[in-house]
Chain A
Amino acid sequence: MSKVKKNLVHYQDLIIKIREFFYSRKVTEVKTPSLLFSPSTDVYIDSIEVKVNRDISRPTDLYLHTSPELEMKRLLSKGSGDIFQICQVYRDNEYGSNNSNEFTMLEFYRIDFDMHSLVDEIIDLLKMLGKTDAAIKISYAQAFFEYGNIDILNADLEDLKKIANSLGLNSDYDWIEDLQTLLFVHLIEPKISQIPICFIYDYPKEQSALAKIDGPIAHRFELYINGIEIANGYEEIQSADEYRDRFNNELYKRKMIEKKKLLVDEEFLRDIKVGLPHCSGVAIGIERLFSSISL
């Protein structure tokens, strides 16, 4: 068998196994649009804009989805129950050997799961895919304490600037979450690169994204395989009002760093007016997962 054929078959096996995993757990496969009217408001994720002729006279600006998250949340709010999707997603301004402007994402939502039950399900999925190493679960605060001797949840912007300076790093950041991320990339990631499967959970509330906030922390987690970020998940916020607040916060930050002005997706907020059921969801980068499994 040629090397190309062998790789294609390996990849196909992975996709088949993932589908079987979810089918056997009664999770429904869905397909949502990838051409959207509203771009993602994520501060550091940029949508690719495309001109589409929907009318003979003038082209319309549409956006390729950066993740199927909001479209899947529309389904959840309408009573879809547990759902999963494997799709191609597109992002502008991605650089580096581990990033690409287009990649495959597995995204799934589980009703009545809290963050920890979702983490456990991902561990089951990894096992089924042949990744049987022991999984380490460590909170964001524990990781900083253990690998950097830093009390990250009680450190304010000035404390973190001092720490960055003491490491010889530029501390010219306006937001605490950017300094937290700088220190995570500089101090923690190189340490967890020794760990085959590492879940980091309970992110500081400033990095909540769309995860439920509980005091100083948000119920958000990431999966790192040998130091490479593979998955990002949340125990999801439920009410339309909360979504509006998070989007507005992102738009404010985009404005402060002089990124293109975007609007809140009112149609989305209208569609989820009744709210989401209590659920947790996660996005997994399939190419990165594939390369970590076939190591």
Chain B
Amino acid sequence: MNYSTSQFKNGLKLILDGNPCSIVNNEIVKPGKGQAFNRVKFKDLITGKTLEKTYKSGESLEGADVMELEMQYLYSDGEKWHFMEPESFEQYDLSEESMGSAVDYLVEQDICTVTLWNNNPITVVPPIQVILEVIDTDPGLKGDTAGTGGKPATLNTGVVVQVPLFVGIGDKVKVDTRTNEYSGRA
């Protein structure tokens, strides 16, 4: 299905240079003496890069069959990461490359958002906040409960996060996946 510039709106998914993209900004520019154009900002859903293009009004682009579904992360076999859509029990898998930074935060059973393009998964967004376990960190100073300083801690997914000094091995911590920051003890 094709979409004409008059149907462009934020969030519309279109094919650009062979990749599925999402419109993040659509501006109609009508020069006083010239024809009308749409100046459009896209996000490439595969590479995450932002692109800017200008179309003459009335031009059309091919729509991208893109869906975002909530899925449960099942397991990784070392090469592929496996997910299940809980309603249909349909399973999908992604390569580590497509997983991006989601590999740092997902533990089995977590619910996350998987983007499908032509029914193939292309990206995963982990929940904003995840609970992970500290598997390695230096012992904190005794009596420091205020958390004035910080130290690196390795969590069970392998990701390293700055934590307050009082956090020890075996503690469960909340992490904000957008910023990779410690946001409290779980």
**A124 CB–B CB distance under 8 Å:** no
Check A169/B32 contact, CB under 8 A, given A96-B27, A185-B37, A185-B39: no
Q: Does B33 contact A (CB under 8 A)?
A: yes
Find A42's partner among B16, B33, B37, B54 (CB 8 Å cutoff): B33
Cross-chain contact A222 with B28 (CB below 8 angstroms): no
**A97-B28, A170-B59, A229-B31 given; A186·B36 CB < 8 A:** no
In contact, A96 and B28 (Cβ under 8 angstroms): yes
> Do the beta carbons of B57 and A95 come within 8 Å of each other?
yes
Separation of A177 and B17 alpha carbons in the complex (Å): 26
Q: Is B112 an interface residue (CB 8 A)?
A: no
**Chain B residues whose C-beta falls within 8 Å of the C-beta of A43 in the assembled complex:** 35
Which A171-202 residues have a C-beta within 8 angstroms of B? 173, 177-178, 181-182, 184-186, 189-190
A207 to B33, CA, bound (A): 8
Q: Which of B17, B33, B52, B56 contacts A170 (CB 8 A)?
A: B56
The yes or no answer to A232 lying at the interface (CB within 8 A) is yes
Given contacts A169-B54, A170-B56, contact A186 B39 (CB under 8 A): yes
A99 contacts B28, C-beta separation under 8 Å: yes
A209 touches B28 (CB 8 A): no
Interface presence of A44 (CB below 8 A): yes
> If A95-B57, A168-B53 touch, does A222 touch B32 (CB 8 Å cutoff)?
yes
**In which size bucket is the chain B interface?**
20 to 34
A94 within 8 A of B: yes
Alpha-carbon distance A232/B17, docked complex (angstroms): 36
* Separation of A43 and B30 alpha carbons in the complex (Å): 13
In the complex, A177 Cα to B16 Cα: how many Å?
26
What number of A-B contacts does a CB cutoff of 8 Å give? 75
Query: B33 contacts A95, CB within 8 Å?
Result: no
Question: In chain B, what residue has the closest Cβ to A93?
Answer: B36
- Asked if A178 and B39 make an inter-chain contact with CB atoms under 8 angstroms apart, the answer reads no
**In the assembled complex, B29 has its CB within 8 A of some CB on chain A:** yes
The residues of A that contact B52 with a CB separation of less than 8 Å are: 186, 190
The chain A residue with its CB closest to the CB of B28 is A96
Chain A contacts for B57, CB-based, 8 A: 95
In the bound assembly, the distance between CA atoms of A94 and B29 in angstroms comes to 10
Q: Are A178 and B33 in contact (CB under 8 A)?
A: no
> Are A185 and B33 within 8 A (Cβ)?
no
Question: How many angstroms from the CA of A181 to the CA of B32 in the assembled complex?
Answer: 11
Is B29 a contact partner of A96 (Cβ separation < 8 A)?
yes
* Partner pick for A181 among B17, B27, B31, CB 8 A cutoff: B31
Write the nearest CB–CB distance from A41 to chain B, whole angstroms: 12
Instruction: Give min CB distance, A266 to chain B, whole Å.
Output: 23
With A170-B59, A186-B54 as given contacts, are A181 and B35 in contact (CB-CB < 8 Å)? yes
Q: How far is the CA of A42 from the CA of B34 in the complex (A)?
A: 9
The residue among A96, A170, A185, A189 with the most chain B CB atoms within 10 A of its own CB is A185
Query: Are A170's CB and B55's CB within 8 A?
Result: yes
Whether the pair A44, B56 counts as a contact (CB closer than 8 A) is no
With contacts A43-B35, A186-B54 known, what are 5 further pairs, Cβ within 8 A?
Answer: A44-B30, A96-B36, A178-B35, A181-B37, A185-B31
Chain A contacts to B: CB under 8 angstroms: 42-45, 94-99, 168-170, 173, 177-178, 181-182, 184-186, 189-190, 207, 209, 222, 229, 232, 283
A-B contact pairs, 6 of them (CB 8 A): A95-B6, A98-B29, A178-B35, A185-B29, A186-B54, A190-B52
